[in-house]
Structure 1
Amino acid sequence: MTLSIHRRQAVFVALAWGLFAAGALLAPAGAQDRSIVMASTTSTEQSGLFGHLLPAFRKATGIDVRVVAVGTGQALDIGRRGDADLLFVHDRPAEERLVSEGHGLARADVMYNDFVVVGPAADPAGIKGSDIVAALAKLAASKASFVSRGDKSGTHVAERRYWKAAAIDAPAARMNGYKECGCGMGPALNIASSTGAYVLADRGTWLSFKNRGELAILVEGDTRLFNQYGVIVVNPAKHLHVKSRLAQAFADWVVSSEGQATIDAYRIGGEQLFFANARP
């Protein structure tokens, strides 16, 4: 009897999964257990930090880390679903909320840098200075373009907080040039560069960004621009398949003297991108 196309496809898929499962069972136990998935921010990935940090961790422990780089909000949702073993993110209130909900184990500070506003070096909106709230108020009153990540990332959450501090709850309604890209930090900077727009960025991604065009840092130094990163192991009590032991090994290493020194050693053009600040 000739099988239908759909039936043959179903048989093929079943065989493929069977072969995959058999291979997994035959693989050495150690090989199955020496890798983890980390959901993290685009800033840690696109700044090049992980290309520096993760090889050092693997050398120290033999554990491989596969990074899923998304906005912090998405990373936290991945953790809630149990689709990652570990989170490395930068929205402390949301991180603490995830832990309080029982989806993550204890959160730990790892490092910090700061946010900056970059825009056309000519600065048509006249925002240059060290006051983020005053700068956004000037932007809202101008006809300038502003690129928002609009992706519920840690950077986007911070941006919304600064707009609110400037008494502007809906910048899209106030500014014709306000556009949300729903994208990572690198693509947002590319849009700003190609359109002559302003954008809030983390300093790490900015320092590693190559396509600057006419962009320059215009606002920096405000204490409100402080940008803290934290690490959280996903709770195995919620998701039994989570590799919490290996994930905890990363969490312990990244706050150890070795991990902290590795973070501090990462530089581009002689400039340090992140500053380790784990508590003893």
Structure 2
Amino acid sequence: MPKAGLILAALGLMGLSLNATAQSVGHITLASTTSTENSGLFDAIIPAFTEATGIEVRVVSVGTGQAFEIARRGDADALLVHDTRGEEQFVADGWASERADVMVNDFVVVGPDDDPAGIREAADVTEAFARIAEAQASFASRGDDSGTHRAELRLWESAGVEPDGAWYRELGSGMGPTLNTAAAMDAYVMADRATWVAFDNRQNLALLFEGDEALFNQYGSLLLDPGRHPHLKHDLAERWHRWLLSEEGQRAIAGFEVKGQQLFFPNASR
């Protein structure tokens, strides 16, 4: 190869090496909910973040309660969950230094298409839950201390019902497996809309109740407190947090669709 060609080739290799170094910023571990993972949201938005920052995001998909526990142990750099009360308490207890609204969707109540409890005619979701309990119709609960499970328990409380007995099944599983079990049992179940839309094994299940304000489902991003776990990658986690709240991050969330439906609606609190 001519000398000029060797020089150009060497410069090209140096450029590739420098570019790779610039892109290899590192990674963070994100503890988040099964709904964000099962729906495919992260597969859609994380590559855009990584391309913009060089930071890889490794997701641990668990219920919100488990995500809090992982963060308390110092095993996650960032949190994206959906239990506003729990998140605010997490900040008040000193585990997180900041919480911000990121996006919203809603819960829906799904059940057998013949609707033995008659919840299609319910005036609100509290009445829908009361009808299910009165009919002792099979209900599949996640039972896993997730954001969805916490919201479900608040609705039973509003209905004046303490769910118990053979009709009420606490599964201790994520949203996808819970929907699978509900489909096999012909049972009612409360699900986040995103996972329901992405769910294909519906069998006899149908969406029976939606639209009540009590089914509003807010997601929040939390910055963990550096004083609790100094070893965490707080600088990289903050870049993820700020990106979610940025115009670019909010556009990425708004652009995510499944089966032609937008599943998460950005509502960042900056």
How high is the TM-score relative to the length of structure 2? 0.90
Change (3 A) 1:56 1:224: same
Q: Mark the runs of 5 or more structure 2 residues left unpaired by the alignment.
A: 1-19
Query: For the Cα contact (< 8 Å) 1:235–1:242, is it kept in 2?
Result: no
Which amino acid is the alignment partner of residue 187 of structure 1?
A: P
Which amino acid is the alignment partner of residue 41 of structure 2?
A: L
Partner of 2:114: 122
Shift of 1:30: 7.7
Cα distance in 1 between the residues matched to 2:216 and 2:244? 20
Partner of 2:170: 180
Work out whether 1:208 is the aligned partner of 2:198: yes
Q: Mark the runs of 5 or more structure 1 residues left unpaired by the alignment.
A: 1-27
Partner of 1:264: 254
Of 197-206 and 231-240, deviating more is: 231-240
C-alpha distance after superposition, 1:216-253 (max 9, x if no partner): 11110000100000001221211011100000000000
Partner of 1:61: 53
Cα distance in 1 between the residues matched to 2:23 and 2:43? 22
Shift of 1:195: 1.0
Work out whether 1:50 is the aligned partner of 2:42: yes
Shift of 1:269: 1.4
Query: For the Cα contact (< 8 Å) 1:130–1:221, is it kept in 2?
Result: no
Work out whether 1:108 is the aligned partner of 2:96: no
Work out whether 1:278 is the aligned partner of 2:247: no
Work out whether 1:147 is the aligned partner of 2:137: no
Partner of 2:75: 83
Shift of 1:46: 0.4
Which amino acid is the alignment partner of residue 143 of structure 2?
A: G
Work out whether 1:161 is the aligned partner of 2:151: no
Runs of 4+ in structure 1 off by over 6 angstroms are 28-32
Cα distance in 1 between the residues matched to 2:87 and 2:240? 18
Shift of 1:31: 8.7
Cα distance in 1 between the residues matched to 2:22 and 2:250? 28
Change (3 A) 1:130 1:260: farther
How high is the TM-score relative to the length of structure 1? 0.86
Cα distance in 1 between the residues matched to 2:52 and 2:23? 17
Cα distance in 2 between the residues matched to 1:235 and 1:262? 27
SS, match of residue 153 in structure 2: helix
Q: Percent of aligned positions with the same letter in both sequences?
A: 54
Partner of 1:237: 227
Cα distance in 2 between the residues matched to 1:206 and 1:277? 21
| Residue-pair matches, total | 250
Cα distance in 2 between the residues matched to 1:130 and 1:29? 59
